[in-house]
Amino acid sequence: MRVLLRNPRRELQVEGPLSVGKLLRQLDLNRESVLVVRGDTLVPGDAVLADDDVIEIRPVISGGALA
């Protein structure tokens, strides 16, 4: 599957099928810090991603100056 990562923007090829939880562990990502997006919706932690899926792993932590 194609995996788009952000900050910095980059792309990986990962072999599927694979659960979201396993993919995040494989990439050493904390599930509290990201969302997994497929198309225009979200994919929960137990979903299985197919080999031909295109997904985005979107970071959710922002750390700019607070007003």
Partner 1 sequence: MKCIVCRGPAVIDLRRHNANFCADHFLRFCRDQVVRAIDEHHMIELGDRVLVAVSGGKDSLALWDLLIELGYDTEGMTIGLGIGDYSAASTEAAVAFAERRHLPLHRVDLRGDYDYDIPTASAVTRRAPCSSCGMSKRHLIDKSALDGGYDVVATGHNLDDEAAVLFGNVLHWHIEYLGRQQPTLAERAGPGGQGSGTLAFPRKVKPLVRLAERETAAYCVLRGIDYIVEECPMAAGNRHLRYKEALNAVEAASPGAKQAFYFGFLARAAARFAPEADGADAELRACARCGSPTTGDVCAFCRLIDQVAGHDPVPVELVRPHRGGRRARTKARP
Residues that bind partner 1 (CB under 8 A): 6-7, 30-35, 37, 40-47, 58-67
Q: Which is nearer to partner 1, 2 or 31 (CB)?
A: 31
Within 13 Å of residue 65, how many CA atoms lie on the same side as its CB?
1
Q: Which is nearer to partner 1, 14 or 48 (CB)?
A: 48
Q: Which is nearer to partner 1, 1 or 34 (CB)?
A: 34
Question: Closest separation between CB of residue 58 and partner 1, Å?
Answer: 6
**Which of 59, 66, 64, 67 minimizes the C-alpha distance to 33?**
59
